[in-house]
Each structure stands twice: as structure tokens, then as C-alpha cells.
Amino acid sequence: MATIFTKIIKGEIPSDIVYRDEQVTAFRDIHPQAPTHVLIVPNKEIATVNDVTPEDEQLVGHMFTVARLIAEKEGVAESGYRLLVNCNRDANQEVFHLHMHLFGGRPLGPMLARR
């Protein structure tokens, strides 16, 4: 069954696409957690990080290259940005299609709450 991200990639659901090529699609999150919040998604359906194979190494590396380009375009490269990939339920992965969040545009604070 196709994920919501697959439907966005195919153009079946409207979105604010900021980057697209043959390997990845990047679009603004509909519930942004920072002034800049972009999702970078492989066009190939990969459910989680646990499903990445050696054949996907170039694709996953490309996601980071695209993140750099988007950060520059969005004007957050110099001030700083965060890349986040969640894997499975305990990490709060909501859509089971591998994706990278790019957050920026304000100080983001610590990664996790200190206990």
C-alpha cells in the first residue's frame, strides 16, 4: 500500500515541493516544527532505516547532498540546521517511508530532553 509520501512523489497529493530529481523529492512539512521544516524523501519506497540495503548507499548519501543544497537555498546553512531520521515506533516514526527532516531558522536546543 502506497504511503502518503509516495502519493506526494507521484503528484497525487498536493504539496509545497522545494526540490525534486530522479532519486529524491523534498517538500515542506504540513505541521512545521521550525521556521524551516522540509522533508527529504527517496522516490524509492524504503520503510525504515532498518530496510536500507547496500544498494541504497548512494541514494542515502544523495539525501545528505540534497539537504545541504536545501539548507543553502533556505538560508539556514550558515546559522545551522538539524537533520533528523526516525526509525520505527519508539523513535516516533509516523510515516513508514524513509525520510529526513531538515529543521532550521531558529536555535533548536538540545537533541533530547535531559533527564
- CB count in 10 Å sphere of residue 22: 6
Measured CA to CA, the distance from residue 104 to residue 115 in angstroms comes to: 25
Could you tell me the pTM of the whole model? 0.94
pLDDT (tens digit per residue) in 68-87: 999 999 999 999 999 999 99
**Which pLDDT does position 61 carry in this prediction?**
98
Domains and CATH numbers, the chain: 4-104 (3.30.428.10)
Averaged pLDDT for residues 98-102: 98
Active site residues: 99
Per-residue pLDDT tens over the stretch 37-63 = 999 999 999 999 999 999 999 999 999
Higher pLDDT, 112 or 96: 96
Around Cβ 64, how many Cβ atoms within 10 Å? 12
User: Residue 22 is placed in which grid cell?
Assistant: 530522479
